[in-house]
Amino acid sequence: MSKWRLAPVGALFIAIVVLGVYYLAGNGGPSQQAEPIGDHIELPAVRLDGPVSVESALQHRRSVRDYADQPLTLQEVSQLLWAAQGITHEHGHRTAPSAGGLYPLEIYLLAGAVDGLDTGTYKYLPAGHQLVQVSGRDQRNDLYLAALKQLSVRQAPMVIVFVGVYQRTQVRYGDRATRYVHIEVGGAAENVYLEATALELGTVFIGAFSDDQVTATLGLPGDEQPLGVMPVGRPRSGG
């Protein structure tokens, strides 16, 4: 067989290999990343022996929208982010279940009053239980405007934002992916609710916001879609 006939076959083989790496290594393609502006920040080790039982946390869980003007600790932030998407097994399993173990969720933290953490916006990195700063600005007011001026967003010392990369789940589940991603964010949000209750903190899951404004505020890459907002703080007495 002449060389000119082999060339297209070789090119096709290379294309197949590249596509295979693209999907298998990246869970549906390499996810774009928000550009970090700082070094990775190690979070405190997670405490696994809290004094509040799961049953008690379920009994007392409520949506709380009014917070005291008090900072949170870095340990509390560590616990909350781990509850949302922390890794719990050497094989990469996390605190919240994920269809096919594809983990399409990403977590952002807007810190306004956290002892030991500079004001700014951070992305949570589950693999190392770390934060990386993506903005040095206090963006809570911008997020408050994006969330239809819900005061809890501006008032809370920290806000968690869940975003989803649908493509990671679509690779395996096609049109069902949207449903599975939305189920997953519900499970992760409930984990945050229960952890906040165990820590005597308050939170609420917010789904009313402008997607475009949240995306612009956080500078989300094109493959990340905002799914939910959870302000967290110490409940105001009598609130």
Quick one: tokens of 85?
Answer: 């998407």
Which residues fall within 8 angstroms of residue 120, CB to CB, at 6 or more apart? 110, 111, 133, 134, 135, 136, 137, 138, 139
| pLDDT grade for 6, boundaries at 50, 70 and 90 | very low
If asked whether residues 1 and 109 sit together in one domain, one would say no
Look at residue 34 in the predicted model and tell me its pLDDT: 56
Radius of gyration of the chain (CA): 20
Helix (H) or strand (E) holding 86: none
Q: Mean pLDDT, to the nearest integer, of 170-189?
A: 98
**For residue range 86-122, what is the model confidence (pLDDT) as tens digits?**
999 999 999 999 999 999 999 999 999 999 999 999 9
Among 59, 113, 52, residue whose Cα is nearest residue 83: 52
If asked whether residues 62 and 81 sit together in one domain, one would say yes
Task: Give one word for 116, left, alpha or beta, with left for phi > 0 and alpha for psi -120 to 50.
Answer: left
| pLDDT grade for 237, boundaries at 50, 70 and 90 | confident
Question: Is the separation of the CB atoms in 203 and 232 below 8 Å?
Answer: yes
Question: Residue 178 corresponds to which amino acid?
Answer: T
Among 104, 90, 75, 109, residue whose Cα is nearest residue 195: 75
If asked whether residues 175 and 223 sit together in one domain, one would say yes
Q: What value does the mean pLDDT of the chain take? A: 89
Q: Which one has a higher pLDDT value, 237 or 163? A: 163
Among 152, 170, 138, residue whose Cα is nearest residue 209: 152
Percent helix, percent strand, percent coil in the chain, to nearest 5:
45, 20, 35
SS3 226: strand
Q: Mean pLDDT, to the nearest integer, of 217-236?
A: 98
If asked whether residues 11 and 114 sit together in one domain, one would say no
If asked whether residues 71 and 181 sit together in one domain, one would say yes
If asked whether residues 10 and 120 sit together in one domain, one would say no
Look at residue 102 in the predicted model and tell me its pLDDT: 98
The number of domains in the chain is: 2
pTM: 0.85
* C-alpha to C-alpha distance for 106 and 123, rounded to whole angstroms: 8
Domain of 138, in residue numbers:
32-233
Q: Which one has a higher pLDDT value, 225 or 20? A: 225
If asked whether residues 26 and 36 sit together in one domain, one would say no
Look at residue 35 in the predicted model and tell me its pLDDT: 64
* C-alpha to C-alpha distance for 131 and 125, rounded to whole angstroms: 6
CATH number at 194 reads 3.40.109.10
